[in-house]
């Protein structure tokens, strides 16, 4: 075989990229079914990795800031708001005709150091209301969804409504949810109001408790007129987990839908730290696992779309949080570190392609 010069190698990779682009991207496929596809995008990727950012542009119709819309970034001191990173992400998205969702207004993590020591029963309602009014107001009409509340359930904490014991729950009790949802609705009525949570994907006992608790909480909120409109299923999956039951998952989504609520897959990724090192073994398992879960979820016409928690294996929170024992980089996302489409990309594409067609909305 003749040796290829640098010029022909470059031409070859450009051809490969062009070939990849003739296969419809994930959002183009999703649109055909009335869905959207998107990804989280970090400030670091946006500022420093133009190639990875270009793949987000190519594949996505929706982005969400991985951290830039959280308290720690946006409200670093009691009287200081800093929208610079969040605005940069929004302006990137707008200039590429990508829609943006906000994440998140109430969470027990991602908070500035001042918040928890400052908060008490006397001032919490004002602090929360001011934050939500200021942040949601800043983006009024520009974000399609808000994850108003994030990760609020933990039945093991033995709190009313099986809520997690957090800074907000301690200061205000369950009323913090009412305050956050009502204030968001008053400030930007057009942004879809989402309750986002994780750990409802498997038949593990703690996840079954969480599914029941989430359904009970939603029923209670709706009964009391708290304006929640959708559930975000984070979808942080584990390819080494054997307790995925598609019927249980499909019934759970159908139960949410039966309350008149929409569903969004907000943070899909598939960790592989329990799998052997071999890349093709890992990629097969990750792809098959995601396919099974997504097929069950997307069966419901209440599902609006899917976002992954990052587009490429260049950057995933999983390497810090769930490192592989052999320290190899995990392969949890649709593109590899070279930004090539992986088996997970194909699995997501196939699942989207076979989803029932629905009427697109937000």
Residue 196 Cβ vs ligand 9MR, minimum distance, rounded to whole Å? 7
Closer by beta carbon to ligand 9MR, 147 or else 283: 147
Nearer to ligand 9MR, 17 or 115 (CB): 115
Smallest distance, ligand 9MR to C-beta of residue 235, A:
10
d(CA 111, CA 73): 8
Provide the minimum distance between the beta carbon of 316 and ligand 9MR in the complex, in angstroms, as a whole number: 8
Cα maximum dimension of the chain: 77
Of the pair 42, 184, the CB lying nearest ligand 9MR is at 42
Q: Which is nearer to ligand 9MR, 25 or 333 (CB)?
A: 333
SS3 category, 28: helix
CB of 85 to ligand 9MR, least distance (A): 12
Residue 40 or 98 with smaller CB distance to ligand 9MR: 40
Those residues whose C-beta lies under 8 Å from the C-beta of residue 223, and which sit 6 or more positions away, are none
Q: Tokens for 277, please give them.
A: 């090192």
H or E, element range at 217: helix 205-223
Instruction: Report the distance separating Cα 349 and Cα 100, nearest Å.
Output: 21
Centre a 10 Å sphere on the Cβ of residue 22 and count the other Cβ atoms it contains. Answer: 6
CB closer to ligand 9MR out of 269 and 336: 269
* 63 strand-pairing partners: 39, 100
| Sequence-ordered list of residues with C-beta below 8 angstroms from that of 111, at least 6 positions apart, any chain | 70, 71, 72, 167
> C-beta of 67: minimal distance to ligand 9MR in Å?
4
Residues that bind ligand 9MR (CB under 6 A): 66-67, 70, 109-110, 150, 234, 267, 317
Q: How far is the CB of 267 from ligand 9MR (least distance, A)?
A: 5
Instruction: Compute the distance between CA of residue 273 and CA of residue 171 in angstroms, rounded to an integer.
Output: 37
Measured from each CB, the residue nearest to ligand 9MR is 110
Nearest alpha carbon to residue 218 among 236, 240, 245, 200 = 200
Our CB check for ligand 9MR shows the closer of 70 and 291 to be 70
CB of 309 to ligand 9MR, least distance (A): 6
In this complex, which beta carbon is closest to ligand 9MR, that of residue 66 or of residue 283?
A: 66
Beta carbon of residue 186, minimum distance to ligand 9MR (angstroms, whole number)? 25
- The tokens describing 205, both together, are 């006992």
Nearer to ligand 9MR, 74 or 261 (CB): 74
| Cβ atoms 176, 106 nearer than 8 A | yes
Structural contact between residues 174 and 219, judged by C-beta atoms closer than 8 angstroms:
no
Nearest distance in Å: CB 96, ligand 9MR: 22
Q: What's the chain's Rg over C-alpha atoms?
A: 21
Cα–Cα distance, 87 to 69 (Å, whole number): 9
| Distance separating alpha carbons of residues 333 and 341, to the nearest angstrom | 9
- Local structure of 222: helix, strand or coil: helix
């Amino acid at each position: 075989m003749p040796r290829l010069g640098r010029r022909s190698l470059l031409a070859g990779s450009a051809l490969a990229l062009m070939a990849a682009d003739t296969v419809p991207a994930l959002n183009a496929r999703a649109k055909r079914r009335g869905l959207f596809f998107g990804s989280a995008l970090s400030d670091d990727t946006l500022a420093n990795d133009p190639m990875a950012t270009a793949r987000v542009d190519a594949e996505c119709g929706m982005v969400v800031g991985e951290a830039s819309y959280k308290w720690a970034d946006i409200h670093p001191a009691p009287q200081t708001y800093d929208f610079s990173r969040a605005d940069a992400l929004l302006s990137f998205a707008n200039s590429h005709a990508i829609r943006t969702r906000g994440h998140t207004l109430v969470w027990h993590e991602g908070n500035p150091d001042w918040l928890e020591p400052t908060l008490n029963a006397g001032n919490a309602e004002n602090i929360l209301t001011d934050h939500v009014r200021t942040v949601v107001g800043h983006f009024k009409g520009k974000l399609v969804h808000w994850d108003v509340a994030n990760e609020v359930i933990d039945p093991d904490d033995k709190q009313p409504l099986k809520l997690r014991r957090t800074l907000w729950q301690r200061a205000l009790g369950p009323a913090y949810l009412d305050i956050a949802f009502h204030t968001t609705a008053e400030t930007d009525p057009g942004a879809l109001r989402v309750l986002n949570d994780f750990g409802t994907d498997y038949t593990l006992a703690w996840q079954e408790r969480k599914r029941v608790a989430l359904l009970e909480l939603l029923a209670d909120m709706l009964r009391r007129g708290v304006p929640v409109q959708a559930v975000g299923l984070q979808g942080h999956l584990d390819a080494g987990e054997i307790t995925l039951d598609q019927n249980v998952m499909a019934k759970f989504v159908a139960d949410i839908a039966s309350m008149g609520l929409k569903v969004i897959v907000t943070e899909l990724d598939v960790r592989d730290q329990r799998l052997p090192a071999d890349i093709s073994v890992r990629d097969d398992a990750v792809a098959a696992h995601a396919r099974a879960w997504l097929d069950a979820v997307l069966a419901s016409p209440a599902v609006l779309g899917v976002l992954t928690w990052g587009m490429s294996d260049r950057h995933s929170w999983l390497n810090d949080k769930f490192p592989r024992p052999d320290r190899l980089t995990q392969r949890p996302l649709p593109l590899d570190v070279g930004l090539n489409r992986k088996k997970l990309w194909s699995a997501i594409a196939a699942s989207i392609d076979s989803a029932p067609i629905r009427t697109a909305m937000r």
